[in-house]
Structure 1
């Protein structure tokens, strides 16, 4: 009896041992499969990352093309013709502008239409003879003979503004080097706009009033010859303080007041033109 009981106990122990060994084999097998699965997952993730980088990362050829495009943008060393209209490369600062006293004699009634609350020049202005305008810049002096007799309202406006130092410290903001050949000045706010990195804001300023055009040329070729000092405008009746200096014979619609003729210093403007525009 004892012998049979011993046999049963031995058989039970053997069964338990076999079951334990089987469980251990299964545990090890699961561990191996988990390891293989983990490695596989890492491989898959790596492949996905590589694909994502390949598809979405910046292309080296594209970067090079962008750099090439940037390098072909006009620079100060290139021909001015590559930028036919822009801010002069050579800054032109008007240190001061003065007007000689007008001649006595005839007068004209001028209509200065306010656009802000700014005070306007007197309505009655001298209308005889000529005046001398002197523009002092850091690049040299420019003088012009102002046709007061034929452009009395514009001449009177300049005499009024120059007497207040309106143009002093201002910067010429526009140079054209193709089709028309002019240097444009007279915006008191242009310098601040350019120095703040806002060239689009240059050319928007004025004296706070407008006037009608006068002393217009004929519609003809080169009706604004080299040396002409004329007035810019934004349409009929909008002449303000902005003016342009013509450094090479230019044809324009006969819409811009001719204020006078440069008598000395045209070479200053021509040198600015030779440097080109940005």
Structure 2
């Protein structure tokens, strides 16, 4: 592009080849024609662009090899279904970038957890899965319905209908986790205004390991203190306004051939799960 102040580059970005449930950064790869040096410090470029109807700025670009640079446009959680984004690149700052031309190479996706700097190398990976990712199978499909949610960053949540059983099923892969780390899995949920049940305990069985002696007992409503035993999990309020309850734990070293099947069966002792709204599964280090 000959005029960096009038780019007018429209880019359509698809998630077709991305792993669902992974946080990605979308980066534009480019270089200026009159750049004669490469620095270890970020360069101020003030890229102006639009995503949807929103006007955005990306101020600093990082250097790559052979005088190429990269600048992050936005971050997003890759969904289960393929979707497209459109970004309109408008201009770089002539004052800081000069009057020469710019080569635009393309868009690169990087998992956000792989972009940690030297000050963040000890931070553990955190996995947030959509409700549809962990619940959509033949045993569940007829027992819930999708509903839009402005309170969820995933835009869609599921509400369970009248049923006694709810399955959680997902294949975890090693690249999603930090090595040698103990993880806790939390079901993130709310109860609809019309929900009158779910006062009783719910049993959680691990269908992969099938050890009946280690079945967990959870609650979706906080019980009386005398109803809480040693291994019971009670709901807690999250900062985002949702509730969460621990349903499972594991160590990332337990993965076999780089993967592990999460297959849980939740069964109510009494009543149904009607009115349970599931946001997703939050998997984070202990």
TM-score by length of 1: 0.22
Compare the two structures and name the one with the higher strand fraction: 2
Structure number with greater Rg is: 1
Compare the two structures and name the one with the higher helix fraction: 1
